Structure 1
Amino acid sequence: MNWKISAFAPKEAVQAALVAHEDAWDWNPEVVLSGCEIAEDKPDDWVLEAWYPHKPTATDKAAVKALFAEGAPELTVEKLPDADWVALSQEGVEPIRAGRFHVRTPEFPASTEPGVTDFIVPASQAFGTGQHATTAGCLAMLTAMKARGVEVRNLADIGTGTGLLAFAGLELWPRALATASDIDPVCAGVVEDNCELNQISMGARRGELTMVIADGMADPLLAARGPYDLLIANILAGPLVELAPDFARAVVPGGHMLLAGLLTTQEGAVRRACRLAGFRLAARMVNGDWSILWLRKRAGVNVRAARPGRMPDWSRRW
């Protein structure tokens, strides 16, 4: 990504633009979009950034402006030096402590706190180092689920990125079957490397991790290894809504689902889709502007057959 468009606007406007982006069916999948606050002491001042592999055209600029309902801000276009911007954005980040987990890059020392599991996740081509509020929130929610007596024998991490949430699941339930999937082929090598760093065995047996490149739930291996009593999906609100029926078919009655990647303003739509698919809310957590949802599938729910879910490219999220 050698070019970037920036649009500075109030928090509400940028969040609304992110939602509009998810609904833009014709959005170029090569263009990565993100939004965040400018500084910790300015929580209401945000910037929307669009990353391009080419110099943005007039059409590209118009597409960004169209994401803002009214009063589109001025756009700043800049050329960036050749670099792996995902990796650079993650270098030197401080370790995080979420639930019973300490997540760090190799530059930092391991935690010596009793009862805390240390994971190493280098800056890489995949997202999910634990720094984002959604990933950290999932780590905290998984810890809470374990503390409340949830037992897991078969888990799936959909949109795994670096593999971190699957690693956490195996740490909490070490005898579980574990499957991780992502739509981005880059993630296969990233997860393999991270398994080696964290001494996690890859394989198809209990306590090992199976990795698959899959488009949503439409994959024979994901189907063959199910049904699951824990399904984790830290992706985007749009795919969560679209895939709710597919998730329901993949989770056992009484099973658990952990969803993240949705803004608090998008929570209602995600919860409605999950309720229609047969899930009820067990607990929710808010981390900054993001919602983390723990849901349970009701017993005796029949989900109508539908086409296998194909989701947009959410692989470059975090």
Structure 2
Amino acid sequence: MSDTWKVSIPCTRAEARILSEDNLFVSSSDSTPTIVASETDPKHPDAWMIDVYCQMPPDAELLGNLLLLSPSASATGVQPLVERLADEDWVTLSQQGLEPLRAGRFHVHTASDRPSGNPKLVNICIDAGQAFGTGHHETTMGCLLSLDQLRRTGHRFRNIADIGTGTGLLAFAAHYLWRDAKTIASDIDPVAVTVTGANAAQNAIPLGNDRSHVRLVQSNGLDHPSLGQRAPYDLIIANILAGPLVALAPQITAAAKPGTVLLLAGLLSRQKAEVVRAYVREGFRLKHSRLDNEWPCLTLVKARKYGWTRKPHRKKSPLASDYFGEC
């Protein structure tokens, strides 16, 4: 038997969105849980399940958090189901059966599915594995659509960074859209970096430091020296969580220049204002916000000139929206 444990609890769709944020599951154990949210019955769209995977038996704090954060289950007296799993690749199993998806010009599929024969579409093969980011979550889908829109509106980028790359999907999409660019993809998880390398080989994407290549690094935020050496970037992608996005605002700003386009995702609608404020303070302005099932994808631009002065005879302090548009 393996040392992987699974804790499951039914919940509503709204609860699943909240529960699936990793930072809600800090417990007294040394393991870092992984959360998978899934719909259990297509005929009942509010019937969802949260599965929490961890490398140690779940402690009382984790189980208590689940009950606290799933009031619908608590109200009916449902207790979390705890299982010890067999020695299997449970991440792959949890993602099997994913259907190919279309996002703008991108057709994302697994190796078991046939690529699209439409010459106008870009095929990207991403197998389920020990890293997340197959494109099926609203945050990744929103980023793919936003990247496609940037290309359609004539944007050109030559120096791109994908922070928190997961499976590499967004870095690959940017590579296909701007073939002459230098792209660097980073993740704090060494498994994600390994998976991205394998996915790059499967999609015939060259790895390295040159133009038309993708460089892979393991990094906590933008701490890796290569990320600093390549800065400033004209496109930065960060599909992570709201907390890290806010914390990384100074680092991301330091790696940007006037006119840099910033694509942010991984936050919920209720977290949008906080994230936008963090970047407006650093000189970005919000250009577009795409929303899919309470998951915004934000497109911001580093202002060429920013800051403000009080207008004469104005009685109240100016709002950021007065100068950068509505957030």
**Superposed pair shares fold, TM > 0.5:** yes
1:292 is aligned to 2:297 = yes
Are residue 119 (structure 1) and residue 124 (structure 2) matched? yes
Q: Alpha-carbon deviation of 1:25?
A: 6.3
1:232 to 219, 229, 237: 237
Structure 1 unaligned segments of length 5 or more: list them.
Answer: 303-318
Equivalent-residue separation in structure 1 for 2:243 and 2:31 (angstroms): 14
Residue aligning to 1:77: 82
Query: For residue 42 of structure 2, what is the aligned residue in structure 1?
Result: 40
1:30 aligns with 2:35: no
Q: Which runs of 5+ in 2 are unaligned?
A: 308-327
Is the Cα–Cα contact under 8 Å of residues 92 and 107 in structure 1 kept in the other structure?
no
Checking the alignment, whether the CA contact within 8 Å between 1:18 and 1:67 is kept in structure 2 is no
RMSD over aligned Cα, in angstroms?
2.3
Q: Does 1:200 align with 2:201?
A: no
Letter in 1 for 2:42: E
Q: Secondary structure of 2:234's partner?
A: strand
Cα distance in 2 for partners of 1:121, 1:192 equals 11
- Aligned counterparts, 1:272-287, within 5 A: 272-287=277-292
Q: Deviations over 1:13-46 (max 9, x none)?
A: 4444456x63676675521234344333333333
Larger-Rg structure = 2
Of 170, 173, 194, the match for 2:175: 170
Report the Cα distance in structure 1 between the residues aligned to 2:49 and 2:186, rounded to whole angstroms. 31
Show the counterpart of 2:312.
Answer: none
Q: TM-score, normalised by structure 2?
A: 0.84
The Cα shift of 1:273 comes to: 1.6
CA distance in 2, matches of 1:15, 1:55: 24
Distance 1:146 1:2 in 2: 43
In structure 2, the partner of 1:160 is 165
- For residue 169 of structure 1, give the secondary structure of its aligned residue in structure 2: helix
Q: Which moved more, 1:185-194 or 1:202-211?
A: 185-194
- Between 1 and 2, higher relative CO (CA 8 Å, sep ≥ 6) is seen in 1
Alpha-carbon distance change, 7 to 23 in structure 1, aligned in 2, over 3 angstroms: closer
CA distance in 1, matches of 2:19, 2:96: 28
Candidates 151, 154, 177, aligned match of 2:156: 151
Query: How many pairs align?
Result: 301
Alignment of 1:256-267 (within 5 A): 256-267=261-272
| Structure 1 pair 71–84 and aligned structure 2 pair: CA distance change class (3 A) | closer
* 1-structure distance, mates of 2:46, 2:68: 21
TM-aligned CA distance change 1:35 to 1:274, over 3 Å: farther
Distance in 1, matches of 2:82 and 2:27, equals 22
C-alpha deviation, 1:202, in angstroms:
0.7
Deviations 1:40-60 (A, max 9, x none): 333333333321212223343
TM-score, structure 1 normalization: 0.86
Please tell me whether the aligned partners of residues 8 and 74 of structure 1 are also in contact (alpha carbons under 8 angstroms). Answer: no
Cα separation, 1, equivalents of 2:289 and 2:92: 31
Q: Report if aligned partners of 2:11, 2:73 keep a CA contact under 8 Å in 1.
A: no
1:61–1:241: structure 2 CA closer, same or farther, 3 Å change rule? Answer: same
Match of 1:64 in 2: 66
* Separation of aligned partners in 2, 1:238 and 1:34: 19
Tell me the equivalent position of 2:251.
246
2:51 paired with 1:54? no
Alignment match of 2:274 (pick from 260, 269, 272): 269
* DSSP-derived class of the 2:193 partner: helix
Instruction: Tell me if 1:136 matches 2:147.
Output: no
More deviation, 158-167/275-284: 275-284
Percent identity of equivalent pairs:
41
**1:209-220 equivalence runs, <5 A:** 209-220=214-225
SS of the residue corresponding to residue 299 of structure 1 reads coil
